[in-house]
């Protein structure tokens, strides 16, 4: 096979698989949140049943929903704790029902602000995609699909693991404190759009799950900010007046504000 054809073939597989992998990861993120992390009260009952057989998954729900949504960031969206005393009081409450190992896992991973379960549930789509590699016709196809898997199926995992913490910081603080490559992402239109969407997720935890956009919108689980939301985001420094001028009312694919 001519090398040029190999590159064109790999690019074709990269783009084709990329569309599928992007949507797969976005749907996985949205559904994982709705049915495991941010359960409504009716669904929480079966999560308690699961607790005995899958304690790691239960801990993930507890860390994200109970700790991240309701037991931290109580005083302000941009401050995890109001004081050291508040953090210590939460530690005392957690020690009453978590094992020492679970307690360590939860606290060293920012009380649910960076997931602490094994990465497996988050990386499941990317890992499952690898199963198709032996079925592909040649090396060029495998290289294209492998690259697509890395580029399109893993961003939401990285967003959850590392960037989420910065979504809860004031915009100026986030871009100043984040490592250079992350600061570029935080300043981008996509980073700003996700910051806004995640704020709405905390206002209503059964909406706007995605950090990798798409599935929420397609599933009817995404809402745009209201004028009052914009006012509040500006007051707490989550966005700048320039962001509001650029994004408010915008309805473009990927940045649907
Ligand atoms: Zn949530
Ligand atoms: Zn959050």
Residues with CB under 5 A from ligand 1 (ion): 38, 205
Q: Which ligand is nearest to the CA of 169?
A: 2
Residue 62 belongs to what domain range? 3-112
- Report pLDDT digits (tens) over 126-171: 999 999 999 999 999 999 999 999 999 999 888 888 899 999 999 9
Distance between Cα 237 and ligand 1 center (Å)? 21
What is the reported pLDDT for 40? Answer: 74
Q: Which ligand is nearest to the CA of 204?
A: 1
Look at residue 43 and tell me if it is in a domain. yes
The segments of the chain whose pLDDT lies below 70 read: 1-5, 116-119, 252-257
Look at residue 92 and tell me if it is in a domain. yes
DSSP 3-state percent helix, strand, coil across the chain (nearest 5): 70, 0, 30
Look at residue 13 and tell me if it is in a domain. yes
How many distinct structural domains can be found in the chain? 1
Look at residue 127 and tell me if it is in a domain. no
What is the reported pLDDT for 31? Answer: 94
What is the reported pLDDT for 6? Answer: 87
pTM recorded for the entire structure? 0.89
Distance between Cα 26 and ligand 1 center (Å)? 15
Look at residue 173 and tell me if it is in a domain. no
Distance between Cα 64 and ligand 1 center (Å)? 6
């Amino acid at each position: 096979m001519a090398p040029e054809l190999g590159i064109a073939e790999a690019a074709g597989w990269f783009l084709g698989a990329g569309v599928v992998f992007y949507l797969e990861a976005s749907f996985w993120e949205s559904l994982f949140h709705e049915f495991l992390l941010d359960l409504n009260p009716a669904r929480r009952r079966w999560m308690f049943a699961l607790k005995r057989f899958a304690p790691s998954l239960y801990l993930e729900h507890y860390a994200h929903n109970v700790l991240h949504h309701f037991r931290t960031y109580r005083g302000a969206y941009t401050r995890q704790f109001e004081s050291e005393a508040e953090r210590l009081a939460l530690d005392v409450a957690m020690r009453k029902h978590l094992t020492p190992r679970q307690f360590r896992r939860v606290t060293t991973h920012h009380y649910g602000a960076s997931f602490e379960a094994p990465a497996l549930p988050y990386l499941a789509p990317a890992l499952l995609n690898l199963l198709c590699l032996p079925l592909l016709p040649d090396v060029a196809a495998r290289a294209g699909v492998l690259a697509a898997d890395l580029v399109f199926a893993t961003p939401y995992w990285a967003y959850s693991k590392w960037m989420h913490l910065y979504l809860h910081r004031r915009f100026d603080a986030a871009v100043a404190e984040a490592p250079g490559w992350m600061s570029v992402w935080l300043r981008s239109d996509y980073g700003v759009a996700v910051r806004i969407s995640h704020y709405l997720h905390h206002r209503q935890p059964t909406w706007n799950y995605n950090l990798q956009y798409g599935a929420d919108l397609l599933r009817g689980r995404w809402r745009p900010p209201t004028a009052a939301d914009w006012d509040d985001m500006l007051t707490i420094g989550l966005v700048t007046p320039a962001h509001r001028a650029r994004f408010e009312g915008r309805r473009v694919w990927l940045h649907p504000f």
